[in-house]
Structure 1
Amino acid sequence: MDQEKVNILLVDDQPAKLLAYEVILKDLGENLVIASSGREALEVLLKTEIAVILVDVCMPELDGFELAAMIREHPRFQKTAMIFISAIQVSDIDRLRGYEMGAVDYVPVPVVPEVLRAKIKVFAELYRKTRELERLNHELEDRVRARTAELEASTAKLRESEQRRSMAIAAGKMGSWDWDWISGDWMWDEGQYRIFGVSPEDFEINPANVQARLHPDDVDQLRKAIAEFNKGTRAYETEFRIVRPDGEVRWCVGTAAATMDENGRVVRVSGVTVDITERKRAEERQNLLAREVDHRAKNALALAQSIVRLTRADEVKAYVNAVEGRINALARVHTILSLSSWQGAELSRLIDEELAPYSLGEQIKLAGPEVQLLPATAQTLALALHELFTNSAKYGALSTRAGRLAIDWQVDDELLTLSWEESGGPLVKTPQSRGFGTRSLLASIESQLGGQAQFDWRAEGLLCRLEVPLTRKTAAAAPGKFDTAGSAELQRASG
């Protein structure tokens, strides 16, 4: 490959000498640049990259020494090679001065062509090699910078990946571990210690200690995993429980992978442990909720079936109205219970829901503390109240504008006592026999809730007293025993 030509500046005030230098140096194959004065030489230097300067010492205006001093003052030309040509005898002092000005060599006159060519060739080649070295250094620096940038970017990505992993382990309750199958050495990360509820300072990782932290019913899972790897299995996954030092049981899923040697024998097992306790609890809650929904749906259907089966009426319309009223009462209490996630219902809320269709204003007075009822108690009491309201609206105090109804309740030693007192309505006579409504109310309060229902058929209005235990669980009895006979049969003589 042809070498890149360099520029050689020839400076002399005599054209004949310049021509002679050109002839001598032509065979070098370099670019020869001519300057006939020191000032012209400076102009060339500012515009052109020069490798070697061949300058005559004796020149008018600026001699060679002065030109060299000016060239060396410029930062670009402090290392440019300068060769002086002198037609006079040069003393040691002159040589020293020349070297101080930046000259690298002297050529006496008459010039020996071979010597001049040799000197110029050496410095031209040195310039070329220097430039090549500088270029290579620049390329190397660029490569180093690029490689450094790549390493920094790779390190940043690795650090970011590790941070994401640490965050994922912390957020996802994950841990990783490594087990040297040959030496038996274990390595746990921070997440693994956290899942087991131990710390590196107080827990030595060995098979015995790890097994001691496993739930007794799940120890066989560890033995099974070891047996599988000994058979050549490369990956294994299982669910297991651990018992933390404080006694808390946690559910985990473990995934392990084996590293084999060239003979197919296990040399290392690495794995990840994920704490799935919350997921397990959610599944249990879901299953419990499904069973609870199934149970409540069956109860609701059984209650609806009892309502339909036991309701009595002389006409189809009356029968339909009675059934719809009771099912609506059941639906209302279900809505209240649903809003509380089936934790219970306020007694005052049940009464308000039954009052809503009537718009009776000042005819009704309510008094009593806030009472939270169990779901089963709320369902039964809601239907009992529905029977009382329906009967009163048809035949009692709520059937006339002059009628008044006072409902008050109190709680003493987990016993709810509710008083229903009517007045101002039609004249009341004691019924000769209990209608279906009366029997259903008695059955619901006494049989299902273990309470008591007392009726006083006063002439001025019905007085009913209900006593309901708030803690008894008998409300879970079979819904079929609930007697929801028609309130139309709960008749009282009126006059």
Structure 2
Amino acid sequence: MDQEKVNILLVDDQPAKLLAYEVILKDLGENLVIASSGREALEVLLKTEIAVILVDVCMPELDGFELAAMIREHPRFQKTAMIFISAIQVSDIDRLRGYEMGAVDYVPVPVVPEVLRAKIKVFAELYRKTRELERLNHELEDRVRARTAELESSTAKLRESEQRRSMAIAAGKMGSWDWDWVSGDWMWDEGQYRIFGVSAERFEVNPANVQALLHPDDVRKAIAEFNKGTRAYETEFRIVRPDGEVRWCVGTAAATVDESGRVVRVSGVTVDITERKRAEERQNLLAREVDHRAKNALALAQSIVRLTRADEVKDYVNAVEGRINALARVHTILSLSSWQGAELSRLIDEELAPYSLGDQIRLAGPEVQLLPATAQTLALALHELFTNSAKYGALSTRSGRLAIDWRVEDELLTLSWEESGGPLVMAPKSRGFGTRSLLASVESQLGGQAQFDWRAEGLLCRLEVPLTRRTATAGPGKFDTSGSAELQRASG
């Protein structure tokens, strides 16, 4: 492979001498760089990597000694080889001065081409080898750093793994064991004792005692596998602790065989996965619960769509959207509580959110936690009251006022809805669809009562809802949300 060329700097103020040096050194096959003064040489050095400098001692402005001193002051060029060429006879003092300035050799004039080429070649090759060693050294350092990083990473992972194992054993989640298949002797570590709920001081590890803690169906499967020639086995199994608690574990076992292929020893690791099993059961239960609630919500939505009535399509769409939105709002509230229930005040606040009513509404009552089914049905009933009040009642004018009060006695919620200051009210001649839907939701769904007092100054409604009854889920035909939102009000 061809060697990489190096740069050789020729410094002399006489062009003829520079040309002579070029002719002499051309056969070396290196890159020759020309500088006709000391300052030009310095500029070249700052821009180019130089292996050897051939410099004339006698130059105007900046002679060879001064140039060498300036070169050596720069950290990059402190080891650069410099050869002085002198046309005059130099004394020992001059040579000593040159060596102090960093010269590595002297060449007298007239120059002997063979001698100059030999000296330049030696220092160029030395520069090349030095650079090669530096490159190899960098590569070696990189390999050492990479290998050190790998070892540190491996050590860290091993340490982390051991810490996890120690934590698992300390928490009673993992244990290891060894079973002499021939003699029947067992060896357990501390984690194994914890998993099985026994102590090393009181529990003797022997086949009879160990099998007494294992679920009989599971231990028979494992023994049968090894009797068939299985060398490695992993399975989930159950243990029955002395206190009667059943726990799930996953076990990994590996068999050791003798020269004849007969199993002589079985070693393994046990991990307690009871919490994972319980989490899976909770997840399955939650999935079934979500499916059940989704069907309930769809049944409510189906009832709303099927039973809503209106003379105009726009009125029908608005009525359906309003009731579906009310159902969605209460569903969000229940989701945030993981379907544990909803606060009555939160339901009222959600229904009030679309209106900018300022001080027109007064609320008073204790914190009341409603069951999910109760919250869903009551939210729709409140939606009917708010919608009708905003269209035809007290909330339809700036002068109208609404007071909502509630209390709880003997697990019975009593809610009072009192309007005033709105349009004059007359008792309806018959129940409108809104009235029937509200009555259906409170009485049929919640097992409560709804009373209406059509006072001229404003509607007074009283709702009584049991809090402890598990209400039936609304389905088609059970929850009448039909008709417009109108409560048959008439302005006089």
Gaps of 5+ in 1: none
Change over 3 Å in CA distance of 1:398–1:184 after alignment to 2: same
1:322-355: CA deviation from partner (whole Å, max 9, x where unpaired):
1111111111111111111211111001001111
State the TM-score, normalized to the length of structure 1: 0.65
Alpha-carbon distance, 1:30 to partner: 48
Deviation at 1:316, TM superposition (A): 0.9
Shift of the 156–477 alpha-carbon distance from structure 1 to 2, 3 Å rule, reads closer
Measured against aligned partners, the alpha-carbon deviations of 1:265-298 in whole angstroms (never above 9, x if no partner) come to 1111111111112211221222122212212221
Q: Which moved more, 1:156-165 or 1:461-470?
A: 156-165
Give the TM-score normalised by the residue count of structure 2.
0.66
Instruction: State the Cα distance separating 1:207 from its structure 2 match.
Output: 2.7
CA distance in 1, matches of 2:45, 2:487: 126
The superposition leaves residues 204-253 of structure 1 with CA deviations (integer Å, 9 ceiling, x where unpaired) of 1123322332346656xxx1211221121112222122233344332111
- Measured in 2, the distance between the counterparts of 1:484 and 1:494 equals 24
Greater Cα shift, 53-62 or 263-272: 53-62
| Contact kept in structure 1, 2:392 and 2:486, CA below 8 Å | no
Deviations 1:131-169, CA, capped at 9 Å, x for gaps: 999999999999999999999999999999755643454
Write out per-residue CA displacement over residues 3-46 of structure 1, whole angstroms, 9 at most, x where no aligned residue.
Answer: 99999999999999999999999999999999999999999999
Deviation of residue 51 (structure 1)?
A: 46
Distance 1:231 1:393, change over 3 A: same
CA offset digits 1:363-401 (Å, max 9, x no partner): 111100001111111111100000011111111111122
Tell me whether 130-139 or 258-267 shows the greater mean CA deviation.
130-139
Q: Aligned partners of 2:60, 2:412: CA distance in 1, in Å? A: 131
Distance, in Å, in 1 between the alignment partners of 2:149 and 2:358 is: 82
2:145 is equivalent to residue 145 of structure 1: yes
User: Which 5+ residue runs of structure 2 have no aligned equivalent?
Assistant: none
Contact 1:409 1:419 in 2 (8 A): yes
For the structure 1 residues 488 and 3, does the alpha-carbon distance in structure 2 shift closer, same or farther, using more than 3 Å as the test?
A: closer
Contact kept, 8 Å, 2:296 with 2:473, in 1: the verdict is no
Q: Which moved more, 1:111-120 or 1:410-419?
A: 111-120
Matches of 1:461 and 1:70, distance apart in 2: 105
How many residue pairs align between the two structures?
A: 492
Quick one: structure 1 residues 122 and 466, their matched pair in 2 at CA, closer, same or farther if it must change by over 3 Å?
closer
Give 1:59 shift: 62
Contact 2:181/2:264, CA 8 A, preserved across alignment: yes
Check conservation: 1:51, 1:127, Cα contact below 8 A.
yes
Q: Does 1:32 align with 2:29?
A: no
- State whether structure 2 residue 313 is matched by structure 1 residue 312: no
- Compared CA separation, residues 46 and 261, structure 1 to 2 (3 A): farther
The answer as to whether partners of 1:377 and 1:475 remain within 8 angstroms in 2 is no
CA distance in 1, matches of 2:345, 2:431: 28
Gap change, CA 1:36 and 1:253, over 3 Å in 2? closer
What is the alpha-carbon distance in structure 2 between the residues aligned to residue 20 and residue 322 of structure 1? 106
Moved more, 22-31 or 336-345: 22-31
Helix, strand or coil: the match of 2:115? Answer: helix
Label 1:37 to 1:303 Cα distance change in 2 as closer, same or farther (>3 A): closer
Q: Could you tell me how far 1:489 is from its partner in structure 2? A: 4.4
Is the CA contact 2:218–2:238 (under 8 Å) kept in the aligned structure 1?
yes
| CA distance in structure 1 between the partners assigned to 2:108 and 2:313 by the alignment | 143
1:177 CA displacement: 0.7
Q: Per the alignment, in what secondary structure is the counterpart of residue 148 of structure 2?
A: helix
Per-residue deviation, residues 406-461 of structure 1 (Å, max 9, x unmatched): 11001111111111111222222221211111111111111111111111222222
CA distance in 1, matches of 2:147, 2:140: 10
The structure with more radius of gyration: 1
Question: Within 2, Cα distance between the matches of 1:155 and 1:55?
Answer: 56
Counterparts in 2 of 1:360 and 1:235: CA distance versus 1, 3 Å: same
Does the 8 Å contact 2:433/2:483 carry over to 1?
A: yes
Greater shift in the superposed pair: 335-344 or 366-375: 335-344
Q: Give, in whole Å, the separation in 1 of the partners of 2:40 and 2:349.
A: 113
Matched, 1:270 2:267: yes
Q: Is the 8 A contact 2:300 2:475 kept in 1?
A: no
Distance 2:36 2:359 in 1: 126
Cα distance in 2 for residues equivalent to 1:45 and 1:494: 103
Q: In structure 2, do the counterparts of structure 1 residues 66 and 278 end up closer, same or farther at CA, with 3 Å as the change threshold?
A: closer
Equivalent residue, structure 1, for 2:257: 260
1:480 deviates by 5.0
SS in 1 for 2:138: helix
